[in-house]
Amino acid sequence: MQILQVEGSLSCTCRIHGLKHVALRVLRDAKGNRVVATDPVGAEPGNWIFVTSGSAARYTAGDFEILTDLAICGIIDNWPDNE
């Protein structure tokens, strides 16, 4: 798992059937690198979140037909080391 920050939403007018209608978020790590993850929890820009990757990401989505290898698992409410 990794801790990342939500930068914003990603809109796609055309996507493969395997992504269905899941929300997509652009995430940024501490070095400024960006990745895209599915978002079953409703994270918003500025939220610090943790993600899971690989086949575990499909469990997070709750639907094994969703083709994802990076999914947001939760929104961090309190992170003392980040202050």
pLDDT 10s digits, 22-39:
999 999 998 999 999 999
Q: Given pLDDT bands bounded at 50, 70 and 90, which one contains residue 63?
A: confident
* CATH code 2.40.50.220 for 2-82: yes
pLDDT 10s digits, 39-52:
999 999 999 999 99
- Quick one: what percent of the chain has pLDDT higher than 70? 98
pTM (two decimals): 0.87
Mean pLDDT of the chain: 90
Q: Given pLDDT bands bounded at 50, 70 and 90, which one contains residue 83?
A: low
**DSSP symbols for 23-71:** -EEEEE-TT--EEEEE-SS---TT-EEEEEETTHHHHHHT-TTS--SEE
Domains in the chain: boundaries: 2-82
Average pLDDT rounded to a whole number, residues 6-31: 91
